[in-house]
């Protein structure tokens, strides 16, 4: 049951435009059409004073947009008895032609739409869940930094005629080749050493974060979900933990297509009258989750197989989960092969497979 459905005629509605140092509140008491707007400092004593002015907490429904301030405000209001939802900003209706944006207007708009039931809330994780998710996202940021550092190093070598042609890059053989590179000019040699030191430091940092994350794969708020997700091909232990942390509550998606849309993996569409046009994927919603699914989808380009790593992960799963994972692998490998024969772009193929993989994972987590 949503907050809107559980409300009564005596409900007081509150919209909050939240910033680092200020909160603009718009309050709609019962039977009132013009919100009462106020602006106050963003700290715990001010929040407590504001909540005390709203009357009985069980008759108050508050909301604010998801943003950089996180969920602490929602948790604080919840401890004070005020039911609070955090709203997905990208799904807030926009008035065509509006060119004026202020905190007061935003708060008034938020509370009116909230009372009308036109807003979509996001899931508010517990503090333990959010902590593990932040650690998983920190790893993703470090991986991005490593990719950039690798690009800088490889482009530096290319500019000076050093090209590795003995196999794949960033392997043990490639590392030995990098160690053997030297430059006659002192400035170039120092530049190369600086690029190498940065990359070595990032690799060490990534190893440290991986070690920290592994502690939560089988013991933490997402342990059960990560175990089941890890039964699927392409989903490693850390990948399963990151997927579980990003989705958090799988039950909030009533259908698999809802999760696909949340990942931004569904095609955009513009249809009017007899005209129907579909474009590229929307790329809205959770970027981290979409990246994880696309990365996992590449594993299905090969023939169906249960290797040693998958077998190890599936030992902790029920027979039903293992059977569903095998069915998903057969389907997705066949789909990858069929699409690869028809499409010139492998990116299009892996995106389509990632979308269906999201559906299989949703079905897994929705199963009893």
In a domain, 223, yes or no: no
Task: Report if pTM > 0.85.
Answer: yes
In a domain, 235, yes or no: no
Integer Rg of the chain from CA: 25
Rounded to an integer, what distance in angstroms lies between the CA atom of residue 352 and that of residue 331? 12
Question: Do 262 and 346 sit in the same domain of this protein?
Answer: yes
Question: Do 147 and 254 sit in the same domain of this protein?
Answer: no
In a domain, 341, yes or no: yes
Q: Which of 145, 93, 128, 95 has its CA nearest to residue 114?
A: 93
Which residue, 60, 93, 122, sits at the end of a domain? 122
Q: Identify the domain containing residue 190 by its residue range.
A: 127-214
Q: How many domains does the chain have?
A: 3
Q: What is the pLDDT along the chain (368 residues), one digit of tens a residue?
A: 456 555 678 899 999 999 999 999 999 999 899 999 999 999 999 999 999 999 999 999 999 999 999 999 999 999 999 999 999 998 888 877 777 889 999 999 999 999 999 999 999 999 999 999 999 999 999 999 999 999 999 999 999 999 999 999 999 999 999 999 999 999 999 999 999 999 999 999 999 999 999 999 999 999 999 999 999 999 999 999 999 999 999 988 999 999 999 999 988 877 777 777 777 888 888 899 999 999 999 999 999 999 999 999 999 999 999 999 999 999 999 999 999 999 889 999 999 999 999 999 999 999 86
Question: Do 258 and 362 sit in the same domain of this protein?
Answer: yes
Question: Do 21 and 51 sit in the same domain of this protein?
Answer: yes
DSSP 23-68: EEEEEE-TT--S-EEEEEE-SHHHHHHHHHTT--GGGEEEEEE-ST
């Amino acid at each position: 049951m949503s907050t809107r459905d559980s409300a009564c005629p005596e409900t007081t509605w509150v919209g909050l435009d939240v910033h680092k140092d200020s909160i603009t509140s718009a309050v709609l008491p019962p039977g009132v059409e013009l919100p009462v707007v106020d602006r106050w400092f963003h700290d715990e004593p001010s929040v407590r004073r504001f909540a005390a002015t709203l009357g009985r907490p069980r008759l108050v429904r508050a909301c604010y947009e998801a943003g950089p301030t996180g969920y602490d405000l929602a948790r604080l209001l919840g401890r004070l008895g005020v039911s609070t939802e955090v709203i997905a900003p990208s799904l807030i209706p926009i008035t065509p032609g509006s060119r004026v944006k202020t905190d007061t207007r935003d708060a008034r708009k938020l509370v009116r739409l909230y009372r009308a039931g036109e807003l979509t809330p996001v899931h508010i994780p517990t503090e333990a869940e959010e902590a593990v998710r932040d650690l998983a996202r920190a790893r993703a940021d470090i991986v991005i930094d490593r990719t950039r550092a690798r690009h800088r190093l490889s482009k530096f070598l290319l500019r000076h005629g050093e090209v590795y042609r003995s196999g794949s890059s960033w392997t043990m053989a490639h590392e030995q080749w990098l160690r053997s590179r030297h430059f006659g000019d002192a400035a170039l040699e120092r530049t190369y050493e600086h690029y190498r030191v940065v990359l070595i430091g990032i690799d060490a940092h990534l190893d440290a974060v991986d070690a920290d994350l592994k502690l939560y794969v089988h013991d933490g708020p997402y342990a059960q979900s990560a175990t089941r997700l890890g039964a699927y091909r392409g989903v490693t232990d850390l990948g399963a933990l990151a997927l579980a942390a990003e989705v958090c509550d799988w039950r909030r998606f009533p259908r698999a297509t809802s999760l696909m849309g949340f990942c931004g993996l569904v095609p955009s569409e513009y249809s009017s009258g007899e005209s129907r046009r579909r474009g590229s994927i929307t790329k809205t919603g959770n970027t981290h989750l979409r990246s994880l699914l696309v990365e996992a989808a590449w594993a299905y380009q090969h023939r169906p197989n249960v290797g040693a790593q998958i077998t190890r992960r599936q030992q902790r799963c029920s027979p039903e989960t293992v059977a569903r994972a095998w069915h998903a692998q057969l389907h997705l490998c066949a789909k990858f092969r069929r699409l690869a024969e028809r499409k010139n772009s492998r990116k299009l193929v892996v995106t389509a497979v990632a979308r269906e993989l999201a559906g299989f994972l949703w079905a897994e987590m929705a199963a009893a």
